[in-house]
């Protein structure tokens, strides 16, 4: 089945798995070549060096995860659209768990393109975060960016810590049941924030001007 893929895609797939498992520094091009089934020099026909391969892996993952945000921003921002976006991100992390693992290695051990990750993966979340009632609970205290990253951390840490959670939860975190529960949790947390905003709006409306 894997042989049906074109060579660059096979290289990206194997490199992604290795970078996610070992990090950038501990991964060698020789290992990637072995898993693809080619000699190391042949990799240079497709990617200039290890850094270029790493960048290509990042680009592919970030593009996948940024598409839902672009879709969100092309329509009016509502609570319903935010909930839908959050559920989509949870689903994507289950489908592509290597992004969370790769980013954890980058955060702890470093590697090239860290600034690119921040600018292309995280900064758009701040630049396009919803103003007004959608996230108003955090807006007055300048906590909106912290709230965005808190939700991001909940979703990504669930992926990276899954091997340890599996025994405790008695449910495979990557099973359909695990996915359903994770989506339910994220949805309930978001709705909790929305409910607090509603209470604050009612209290503010009842105060004398």
62-92 pLDDT per residue, tens? 999 999 999 988 888 888 998 999 999 999 9
Angle at 88 between CA 85 and CA 90, to 5 degrees: 115
Q: What is the mean pLDDT of residues 13-25?
A: 97
pTM beyond cutoff 0.85: no
In a domain, 187, yes or no: yes
In a domain, 106, yes or no: yes
Residues 6+ away with beta carbon under 8 Å from 23:
102, 105, 106, 108, 109, 111
The mean pLDDT value of the chain amounts to: 86
Domain of residue 193, residue span: 59-204
Q: Would you say 33 and 71 are in contact if contact means Cβ atoms under 8 Å apart?
A: no
* pLDDT over threshold 80, residue 140: no
In a domain, 78, yes or no: yes
Specify the pLDDT at position 199.
58
Name the pLDDT band for 59 (thresholds 50, 70, 90): very high
Specify the pLDDT at position 75.
85
Q: Would you say 83 and 190 are in contact if contact means Cβ atoms under 8 Å apart?
A: yes
In a domain, 169, yes or no: yes
Q: Would you say 124 and 62 are in contact if contact means Cβ atoms under 8 Å apart?
A: no
Q: In whole angstroms, give the CA distance from residue 191 to residue 196.
A: 9
Specify the pLDDT at position 7.
94
From the CB of residue 122, how many other CB atoms can be counted at a distance below 10 Å? 15
User: How many domains does the structure of the chain reveal?
Assistant: 1
Specify the pLDDT at position 131.
47
Specify the pLDDT at position 20.
97
CATH number at residue 71: 1.10.357
In a domain, 68, yes or no: yes
Strand, coil or helix: what is 38? coil
In a domain, 49, yes or no: no
Specify the pLDDT at position 132.
47
* pLDDT over threshold 60, residue 60: yes
In a domain, 162, yes or no: yes
Q: By percentage, how much of the chain surpasses pLDDT 70?
A: 84
148-199 pLDDT per residue, tens? 888 889 999 999 999 888 888 888 999 999 999 999 999 999 888 888 766 5
Name the pLDDT band for 206 (thresholds 50, 70, 90): low
Helix axes 144-160, 98-109, angle to 10 degrees: 110
* pLDDT over threshold 50, residue 54: yes
In a domain, 111, yes or no: yes
């Amino acid at each position: 089945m894997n042989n049906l893929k074109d060579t660059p895609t096979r290289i990206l797939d194997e490199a992604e798995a290795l970078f996610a498992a070992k990090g950038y520094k501990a991964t060698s091009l020789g290992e990637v070549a072995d898993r693809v089934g080619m000699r190391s020099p042949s990799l240079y026909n497709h990617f200039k060096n290890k850094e270029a391969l790493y960048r290509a892996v990042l680009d592919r993952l970030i593009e996948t995860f940024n598409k839902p945000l672009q879709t969100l921003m092309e329509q009016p921002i509502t609570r319903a659209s935010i909930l839908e976006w959050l559920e989509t991100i949870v689903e994507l992390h289950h489908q592509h768990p290597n992004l969370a693992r790769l980013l954890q290695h980058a955060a702890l051990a470093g590697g090239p393109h860290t600034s690119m990750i921040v600018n292309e993966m995280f900064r758009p979340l701040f630049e396009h975060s919803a103003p007004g009632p959608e996230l108003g609970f955090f807006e007055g205290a300048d906590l909106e960016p912290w709230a965005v990253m808190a939700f991001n951390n909940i979703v990504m840490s669930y992926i990276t810590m899954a091997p340890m959670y599996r025994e405790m939860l008695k449910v495979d975190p990557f099973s359909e049941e695990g996915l359903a529960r994770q989506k339910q949790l994220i949805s309930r947390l978001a709705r909790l924030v929305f409910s607090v905003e509603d209470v604050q709006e009612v209290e503010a409306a009842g105060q004398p001007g």
